Amino acid sequence: DLRQTTDGTKLTPKASAKSLSKADVESRLGSDSDGNDGPSPRETKESSGGSKEESKTQESASEDEEDEETADLGETLNLSSADMLEFLTSPTARKPGYGAVQCYIERKKTGMGGANSEYYLFLKHDRRFLLAAKKKSGNKTSNYSISRFKEKVSDKGAGYLGKVRSNFVGTEFMVYDDGENPEHYRGGDEEQIRKELGAITYASNVLGSRGPRKMRVCVPMIDEKTKHPIVFRPASKTESLLTKAREGDDRCFFLINKPPRWNETVRAYVLNFNGRVTHASVKNFQLVHPDDHDR
C-alpha cells in the first residue's frame, strides 16, 4: 500500500557523503536506463552507468546528516497464506513506535536486453515473497502485470491482482486492480469495472536534465467509516483518479518524492536513505507528505 510502504531497497551499512570524494560519488550515481519508462523498480546487485554530467544531476545514496530510524512494521506481521491476499490489497494499520513495512525488490532479466524483466517484491526481515511484476510485451506504452504468484505472471494468470500502465511519453502512470476496463464494460454488475488504486505523475526539474526529477503520487483517502480506501471506479476520464488529483479533490491523498539537496563538497545532489540503498541511482527516491518531509 502506497500510504505505508517504503522505497523497496535492502538495508546496508550507511555511507556518509562527507567521506566520499567527488569522483566516488559520481561513480556511484546512475542514469535512467529505462528510457521513457520513468521511475522503475530498483535492480538488486546491479547498477546502471552514467556520464559525469549525468552523475552531477542525480540523487546520491546518502547525505551527511542522519535521521532517526523507526522500527520495521513488517517484523510485527504474522501472516498466514490465508491472510496474504487481504494484506496485499488493503492498507496496513500503523503501530506506535514502528514506521512502514520495509521491503526490497529483486530483478530477473529475461528477453533480449532484459526487455521482459520480472520483478519480485519481498519482506525485508524474513525475505518472504509478496508480489511479482512483469512488463507486458507488444504494448505501445509501459504496461506491467502484477501477480501474487511468481510463475507465469500475466493478466490471465490465477494470481493476477492488477497492473501499472504509463502514458505514451512515460510521464503519467496509473495503478489498477484486476477489474474490467470500462471501455469493454457491457452492463451488469458495476463492481466488475476496475478500480483505480493510484496515479503517479513524473516530470523533470525546471533545470531539465541538469536537475533532479519530480514525482507526485496520489492514492485514495481512507474512508473513516469503513477503514478502507475510497473507491474510484470511473466510467470516463473526467471521473478518473488522475483527473481528480489535478483538481485537488479532497478524496485524494498526495505524496511527493523528497527533494535532494545540492552538496557543494561533492558537487552532486544528495539524499539520506539511512543505509537502505546498495547502489546510488536516479531510480532511488523517498515519498513524503508535501507539507511535512519527515512524514
Per-residue pLDDT of 114-150, as tens digits, reads: 677 899 999 999 999 999 999 887 778 889 999 999 8
* pLDDT score of 215 more than 80: yes
Distance CA 17, CA 272 (A): 9
109 confidence band (pLDDT: 50, 70, 90)? confident
Residue 161: how many other CB atoms lie within 10 Å? 21
Residue 217: per-residue pLDDT: 95
- Helix (H) / strand (E) containing 24: helix 22-28
C-alpha cell at 241: 483518479
Residue 278: per-residue pLDDT: 76
Q: Give pTM, 2 decimals.
A: 0.71
8 A C-beta contact, residue 230 and residue 222: yes
8 A C-beta contact, residue 268 and residue 52: no
Pairing of strands 252-257, 118-123: unpaired
pLDDT in tens, 85-99: 889 988 888 888 888
Average pLDDT value over all residues in the chain: 75
Residue, of 114 and 80, whose pLDDT is higher:
80
Q: What is the mean pLDDT of residues 231-247?
A: 90
Residue 207: per-residue pLDDT: 55
Instruction: Select, from the ranges 37-51, 69-83, 135-149, 161-175, the one with the highest average predicted confidence (pLDDT).
Output: 161-175
Tell me how far CA of residue 191 lies from CA of 91, 163, 175, 197, 218, in angstroms.
20, 17, 17, 14, 22
Residue 209: per-residue pLDDT: 55
Could you give the strand order of the β-sheet that contains 103-108, starting from the edge strand earlier in sequence?
A: 103-108, 118-123, 129-135, 143-147, 160-166, 172-177, 196-203, 214-220, 252-257, 287-288
Return the ∠ at Cα 79 (arms to 159 and 195), rounded to 5°. Answer: 45
Secondary structure letter of residue 84 according to DSSP = H
8 A C-beta contact, residue 28 and residue 50: no
Q: What is the mean pLDDT of residues 215-240?
A: 91
